[in-house]
């Protein structure tokens, strides 16, 4: 694992992402709130955790029903080519004061640091059914590119999508859209090659590839995007500073009546997930390894999700690949397993007109093996799982508790060789785009590398 990835794993950062990788993957784009004159709560249960509307919005190429004539990227008529009237750019600043204490194996190590990461995001639709996402991040004076992709939506006027670019391999499972924190999430940080021979190729890294996915039995259909909404409502911007949702809620009822909106026929389809998601992908496994000059596009993925209760899912995925390490030696690997996310509890009003279920129980299990990750001809295997409970206390605060564990055989130089930890976090939102957090990770392994961090994030 590189120095950057090691430091990222140590950051007990709230408001970042699912896993510890650099650049970190953060889906919050305040530009959309500005574009539609709404709040971040329309797409987020709590930044960066997406709600159902936000997942549908992202999955359909950052567009919504009624969006066809609204706010597409258009150059002004000025022949001097001035800047766009509305640049689709957002910024995220992550910083914290972090204390680390390692007392295992007869040693004592204390460390206090204040790492900072600065992100620039760009995302929008550039034409009907064509969206893009890009990220540039700087940490410790080093700038790198994160996820960069183009999404072609509703191919053949069906719920079929093509995603091309530098992609997150595991995006449609339990990912940064679902998890609230990232420290100690060891399953996705397991390496598929020793950092000494393959630059630490990891499950959590982004890789160049092509992903084809589709929805079956979904409440959101291409006709909702290509025709006027059934209510005649559109996504036209409201007055500046208003709290109008990204797509207007069709129901204006009491809080009790709104509690079951996701189960009612007259609810906004974008607030429900139904049916199945399928996905297949092909990736270049060595674009981040020591042999990038000799690409080895022999990695394949597959996933199937079933959505239940409007906002929950169970899924299963698999991944198989081959990479070249060391002096032209091959390393074959396979891994896979199930994951799930289940929302429950008496709904609360997150913001005006927006009801959410306050609890989310989510988890996943991965089992895998690699034939030659340390370039010594020895096969290794690993397995791990996690459980996390997220709780929205009210419309301004969020907390979570997570347990995760990973172990394996013959892991050698791979990281982490063993992970077992409990992480607790409390976050308070001064505004939807400015939040403070306190997070503690208790290491249950012999290393006892406990972490305590006070952090803040600001998005604009």
Residue with the larger pLDDT of the pair 87 and 185: 87
Q: What is the rounded average pLDDT of the residues 82-90? A: 64
Summarize pLDDT for 320-365 with one digit per residue, the tens.
Answer: 988 877 676 788 899 999 999 999 999 888 777 778 899 999 999 9
Q: What is the rounded average pLDDT of the residues 55-84? A: 64
Summarize pLDDT for 244-285 with one digit per residue, the tens.
Answer: 345 544 433 444 444 444 444 446 788 889 999 999 999 886
Summarize pLDDT for 186-204 with one digit per residue, the tens.
Answer: 677 777 777 666 556 677 7
Nearest to 70, CA basis, from 223, 220, 225? 225
Q: What is the pLDDT of residue 75?
A: 43
β-strand pairing of 142-152 with 380-392? unpaired
Q: Has residue 225 got a pLDDT over 60? A: yes
Q: What is the rounded average pLDDT of the residues 114-124? A: 84
pTM, two decimal places: 0.80
DSSP code of residue 202: B
Q: Distance between CA atoms of 195 and 378, rounded to whole angstroms? A: 16
- The overall average pLDDT reported for the chain is 76
Q: Distance between CA atoms of 70 and 229, rounded to whole angstroms? A: 14
Residue 286 φ/ψ, nearest 5 degrees: -115, 15
Contacts of 15 (CB under 8 A, 6+ apart): 26, 28, 47, 48, 94, 427, 435, 437, 455, 457, 459
5-14, 29-38, 364-373 — which is least confidently predicted? 5-14
C-alpha 454: how far from its chain's center? Answer: 22
Summarize pLDDT for 400-448 with one digit per residue, the tens.
Answer: 999 989 888 887 777 666 789 999 999 999 888 888 999 999 989 888 8
What DSSP line would sit under 154-191, residue for residue?
A: SGGGSSEEEEEEEEETTTTSSSTTT-SB-TT-HHHH-B
Q: Distance between CA atoms of 20 and 43, rounded to whole angstroms? A: 23
User: On the CB side of 336, how many CA atoms lie within 13 Å of its CA?
Assistant: 13
Q: What is the pLDDT of residue 343?
A: 94
Q: Distance between CA atoms of 44 and 456, rounded to whole angstroms? A: 18
Q: Distance between CA atoms of 171 and 177, rounded to whole angstroms? A: 8
β-strand pairing of 142-152 with 397-409? unpaired
Which runs of E-coded beta strand occur in 269-311? 275-283, 299-308
C-alpha 364: how far from its chain's center? Answer: 15
Which runs of E-coded beta strand occur in 359-448? 359-370, 380-392, 397-409, 419-431, 434-443
Q: Where does 3-72+86-233+278-459 sit in CATH, by number?
A: 2.40.160.10
Q: Tell me if 451 sits within 8 A of 428, measured CB to CB.
A: no
């Amino acid at each position: 694992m590189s120095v950057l990835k090691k430091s990222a794993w140590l950051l007990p950062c709230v408001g970042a992402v699912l896993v510890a990788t650099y650049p970190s993957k953060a889906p919050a784009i305040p530009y959309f709130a500005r574009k539609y004159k709404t709040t971040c709560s329309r797409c987020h249960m709590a930044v960066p955790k997406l709600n159902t509307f936000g997942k549908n919005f992202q999955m359909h190429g950052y567009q919504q029903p009624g969006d066809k004539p609204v706010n597409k990227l258009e150059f002004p008529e000025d022949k001097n080519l001035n800047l766009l009237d509305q640049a689709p750019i957002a910024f995220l600043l992550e910083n914290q004061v972090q204390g680390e204490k390692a007392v295992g194996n007869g040693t004592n190590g204390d460390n206090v640091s204040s790492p900072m990461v600065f992100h620039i995001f760009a995302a929008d639709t550039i034409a009907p059914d064509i969206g893009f996402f890009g990220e540039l991040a700087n940490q410790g004076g080093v700038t790198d590119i994160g996820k960069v992709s183009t999404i072609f939506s509703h191919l053949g006027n069906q719920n079929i999508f093509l995603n091309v670019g530098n992609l997150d391999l595991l995006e449609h499972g339990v990912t940064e859209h679902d998890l609230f924190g990232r420290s100690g999430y060891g399953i996705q940080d397991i390496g598929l090659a020793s950092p000494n021979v393959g630059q630490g190729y990891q499950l959590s890294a982004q890789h160049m590839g092509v992903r084809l996915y589709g929805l079956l039995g979904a409440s959101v259909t291409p006709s909702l995007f290509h025709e006027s909404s059934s209510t005649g409502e559109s996504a036209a911007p409201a007055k500046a500073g208003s709290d109008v949702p990204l797509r207007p809620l069709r129901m204006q009822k009491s809080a009790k009546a709104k509690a079951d909106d996701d189960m009612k026929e007259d609810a906004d389809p974008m607030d429900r997930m139904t049916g199945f998601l399928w996905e297949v992908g092909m990736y270049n496994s060595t674009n981040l390894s020591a042999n990038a000059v000799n690409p080895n596009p022999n990695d394949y993925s597959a996933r199937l999700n079933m959505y239940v209760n409007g906002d929950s899912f169970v899924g299963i995925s698999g991944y198989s690949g081959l990479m070249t390490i060391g002096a032209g030696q091959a390393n074959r690997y396979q891994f896979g397993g199930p994951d799930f996310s289940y929302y429950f509890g008496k709904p609360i009003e997150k913001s005006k007109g927006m009801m959410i279920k306050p609890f989310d129980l989510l988890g996943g299990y991965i089992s895998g093996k690699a034939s030659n990750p340390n370039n010594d001809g020895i096969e290794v295997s690993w397995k791990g799982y996690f459980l996390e409970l997220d709780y929205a206390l009210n419309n301004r605060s969020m907390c979570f508790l997570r347990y995760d564990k990973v172990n394996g055989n013959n892991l050698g130089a791979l990281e982490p060789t063993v992970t077992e930890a409990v992480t607790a976090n409390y976050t308070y939102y001064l505004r939807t785009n400015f939040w403070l957090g306190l997070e503690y990770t208790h290491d249950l392994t012999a290393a006892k590398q406990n972490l305590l961090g006070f952090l803040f994030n600001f998005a604009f």
